[in-house]
Structure 1
Amino acid sequence: MHYRRFGKTNLNLSVFSLGTMRYLADSENVQQTIAKALALGINHIETARGYGKSEEYFGEAIKAGLSVPRSQLHITTKIPPTSDADVMRRYIDESLERLNLDYLDCLGIHGLNTWEHLEWVQARNGCMKAVEEAINDGRVRHVGFSTHGALELILAAINTDFFEFINLHYYYFFPRNADAIALAASKDMGVFIISPADKGGKLYQPPQSLKDLCHPFSPLELNYRFLLSDKRITTLSVGPATPEELVAPLQVADNVGELTPAEIATLQSLENHQKTVLGTQQCSQCYACLPCPEKINIPEVLRLRNLAVAYNMTDYGQYRYGMFENAGHWFPGMKANRCTECGDCLPRCPEKLDIPTLLEDTHNRLNGKAGRRLWG
């Protein structure tokens, strides 16, 4: 296991962090999973108020005793933004009590996803007043935020200079937030990549065509290497449901150097394949088509189409597409069949794509069972 400085927090975190949204079967499974993670060299565990009984189970594990001293284990919990300080004060106290902790190494504002959330953060008597109090009295050591928001919002939140770290989506198949990585690094913020295996493409269950294109690497390994080769990124979350699910991802934990020529060639081959297959129907993800009068997230819809058509990542596309209209601000946007063919987007598209036709095709390919966040 390698360790990296988490920006201005000056914490040295393992390049993989244990995420706790999925390992919620029971307290015993949680304790076994934590023990396995610690044995493999993970020293950062992340949970959240919103992850069901995760904090409670983690607190039971702490009470039962861990294999490393508390000073060598870095613990993050996340709490949603609130419009007033009193609610945040209560939330912080409740999380500490459930976790059986005297202090948090890191507190993340969980889901800073909308401009209203940013207003709450910046308000004089908003949630950050309570966070500052907790920092001053030692109950919280460092503060950051997680986000599923638009790039413009993420950049604005970084530029408040309130935060020491950021948790965000950024992967080989979703490079949209590259500018946020760059800005965070320029401000010496720690960068924590959320869910690279799942949200990054459901890469633990890749289609055979994608496996063939990535050979001799696995798609998951290639995505991990794409991220870990970037020294601005501190740590990646791994979210096992059982202790055994930790083993395969952490085989990459000692391979954090620059991309090899073979890896670069494989990534270039993936890019070339997408261009060849999609041809004049490839969406370049420039976002010039927005805003859409029907509130369709056109670039994200067409990104899922790119992946489904080019790499047969249809299962992933259906999983993510099913979140539209079902996950609120965590995955905003209407489904593609809401398109009225108004034509507003057409003159703004530099590729001159027939966007209404592509939206209809995406809906036909990917519409299936509605999805939702694991914890709403």
Structure 2
Amino acid sequence: MQYRRFGKTELRLSVFSLGTMRYLASPDNVWQTIQTAIALGINHIETARGYGKSEEYLGQAIALGLPISRSQLYITTKIPPTVDADTMRRCIDESLKRLHLDYLDCLGIHGLNTWEHLDWVKAKGGCMQAVQEAVADGRVRHVGFSTHGSLDVILAAINTDFFEFVNLHYYYFFQRHAPAIELAATKDMGIFIISPADKGGRLYTPPPTLVNLCHPFSPLELNYRFLLSDPRITTLSVGPATPEELTHLSGVADCDGQLTSEEITVFQSLENYKNLVLGTEQCSQCYECLPCPENINIPEVLRLRNLAVAYDMTDYGQYRYGMFENAGHWFPGMKANRCTECGECLPRCPQNLDIPALLKDTHQRLKGKSGRRLWE
């Protein structure tokens, strides 16, 4: 296991962090999963107030005693932004009590996703007052934020200079947030990548087309290597449901150097194949088509179409597409069948795509059962 400096926090975190959204089958499963993670060299565990009983189960494991000293194990919990300081004070106290901890190594403002959330953070007497009090009295060591928001919100949050780290989505198959990585790095913030195996493409169950294109590597391995070859990124979240799901890390946890020529060749082959298959129907993700009068997140809808058509990543596409209209500010936007063919997007598209037709095609390909965030 390799370790990296988590930006200005000066913590040295393992390049993989144990996420705790999916390990809640039982307290025993939690205990075994944590034990396995620590044995692999993982020294950072991330939970959240909103992850069901995650804080409670982690606290029980801590109370039982872990095979590593508290000073060597870094624990992060996340709390949503609140309108007022009193609510945040109560939330911090409750999280510490559930976790059986005197202090948190890191506290993340969980889901700083909208301009309204950012206003709450910036407001005098708002939630950050309580967070700063907790830092002053030693109950919180470092403060950051997690986000599922738009790039402009993320950049604005980074530019507040309130935070020492950021948790965000960024993967080989989703590079929209590259400017946020760059800005965070210039401010010496720790950078934590959210769920690269799942949100990054459901790469633990890749379709045969993608498997063949990535040979001799696995799609998941390549995504990990894409991320870990970037020295600005500190750590990647891995969220196992069972201890056994951690075993695949042993082959990549020590491979954090530059991409090899063979890996670069495979990435180029993936790009060439996508260009060939999609041809003139490929969305370049320029985001010039927004805003949409019907609040359709056109670029994200068409990104999912790109992946489904080029790489047969239909399962992943259906999983993410099903969250539209069902996950609130965590995954905003309406489904593609809301398109009225008003045509406002058409003159904005530099590729002259027939966006209404592509939206209709995407809906037919990816419509299925609606989804919600896992911990809801």
TM-score bucket of the superposed structures, by smaller chain: over 0.9
Task: Specify the code of the residue in structure 1 equivalent to 2:27.
Answer: S
Aligned residue runs from structure 1 range 1-376, under 5 A: 1-376=1-376
CA distance in 2, matches of 1:155, 1:271: 28
Do the aligned partners of 1:78 and 1:110 also contact (CA within 8 Å) in 2? yes
- Render the CA deviation track for 1:84-140: whole Å, top value 9, x for unaligned: 000000000000000000000000000000000000000001100000000000000
Task: Specify the code of the residue in structure 2 equivalent to 1:115.
Answer: W
Task: Specify the code of the residue in structure 2 equivalent to 1:195.
Answer: S
Do the aligned partners of 1:16 and 1:250 also contact (CA within 8 Å) in 2? no
Residue 246 of structure 1 and its aligned partner are, at CA, apart by 0.4
SS in 2 for 1:66: coil
CA distance in 2, matches of 1:361, 1:30: 42
CA distance in 1, matches of 2:106, 2:80: 14
- Render the CA deviation track for 1:304-337: whole Å, top value 9, x for unaligned: 0000000000000000000000000000000000
CA distance in 1, matches of 2:160, 2:231: 24
Task: Specify the code of the residue in structure 2 equivalent to 1:178.
Answer: A
SS in 2 for 1:144: strand
CA distance in 1, matches of 2:191, 2:249: 19
Do the aligned partners of 1:191 and 1:233 also contact (CA within 8 Å) in 2? yes
Residue 374 of structure 1 and its aligned partner are, at CA, apart by 1.0
CA distance in 2, matches of 1:12, 1:251: 21
- What TM-score comes out, normalization by structure 1 length? 1.00
CA distance in 2, matches of 1:336, 1:270: 27
SS in 2 for 1:121: helix
Residue 250 of structure 1 and its aligned partner are, at CA, apart by 3.6
CA distance in 2, matches of 1:290, 1:312: 26
Task: Specify the code of the residue in structure 1 equivalent to 2:145.
Answer: F
CA distance in 2, matches of 1:66, 1:126: 36
CA distance in 2, matches of 1:38, 1:306: 38
Identity of aligned residues (%): 79
CA distance in 2, matches of 1:236, 1:7: 14
What number of residue pairs does the alignment pair up?
376
CA distance in 1, matches of 2:8, 2:2: 18
Task: Specify the code of the residue in structure 1 equivalent to 2:67.
Answer: S
Residue 249 of structure 1 and its aligned partner are, at CA, apart by 2.7
Task: Specify the code of the residue in structure 1 equivalent to 2:202.
Answer: K
CA distance in 1, matches of 2:123, 2:284: 37
SS in 2 for 1:323: coil
Do the aligned partners of 1:305 and 1:317 also contact (CA within 8 Å) in 2? yes
Unaligned 5+ segments in structure 1 are none
Residue 251 of structure 1 and its aligned partner are, at CA, apart by 1.9
CA distance in 2, matches of 1:313, 1:77: 32
